[in-house]
A = this chain, B = another copy of it.
């Protein structure tokens, strides 16, 4: 609590360093811009390293922090940078993704992660149940559309795996428009599977929402145990 403002600074640097990660992928960067991004990267890693070393030194039982969950996260957030100094530049690409571990550093300050975790525990069984049901609906939708459309569009609905892609894009109502039925039977099947499937696919989303609201009630109950929460 005493170092509250420090935590905000660390969080700010994490967010900036995620933006820097995205900026690096821009195709037409000048040499000057690349150099500036490198400088920022080196600077942010230095700060994370100082933070890591301080946390190790300050943790009361000295080894407690370094083997804790967040200790490992903090290590993983800086390790890729130092490893990349030792190896040649070709394999840098693979290391880049490892740098994303620093997004987990944000979890330390986030109550959302904690609440999602609780909500997941509350609704775990049901999520698995209806998640599996949703997968079966997607599978049946894919098989059905494959038999309706394969003959008419052999290049689009080549196999059940292409049909699965259609099923995912359709039943989540994304509907990119890269693949869609053109035969009468295919369209009729789409209509039926949408009517039946939307309700089933919507169930897990609803479960997450209701479990999150239960998780909040539990947290409020713990915060004020004498008050009765309906």
Contacts and interface: CB of A to CB of B under 8 A. Distances in A.
Interface of A: 18, 21-22, 25-27, 97, 100, 103, 106, 110-113, 115-116, 126, 129-134, 136, 139-140, 142-143, 146-147, 150, 154, 158-161, 164-165, 168-170, 172-178, 180, 182, 184, 187, 190-191, 194-195, 198-200, 202-210, 212-213, 216, 230
15 contacts: A22-B143, A25-B150, A25-B159, A27-B159, A97-B143, A112-B132, A168-B190, A170-B174, A172-B173, A173-B174, A174-B174, A177-B177, A195-B204, A202-B209, A203-B208
Contacts of A154: 27
State the main secondary structure of chain A at its contact with B.
Answer: helix
A22 B160 contact: yes
A18, A146, A178, A203 interface centre (most CB from chain B within 10 Å): A203
Contact of A176 (B22, B172, B180): B180
Copy tally for this chain in the complex stands at: 4
Contacts of A210: 213
Given A110-B129, A130-B112, A208 B204 contact: no
A149 to B, nearest CB: 12
Contacts of A116: 133, 200
A200 B194 contact: no
A7 to B, nearest CB: 15
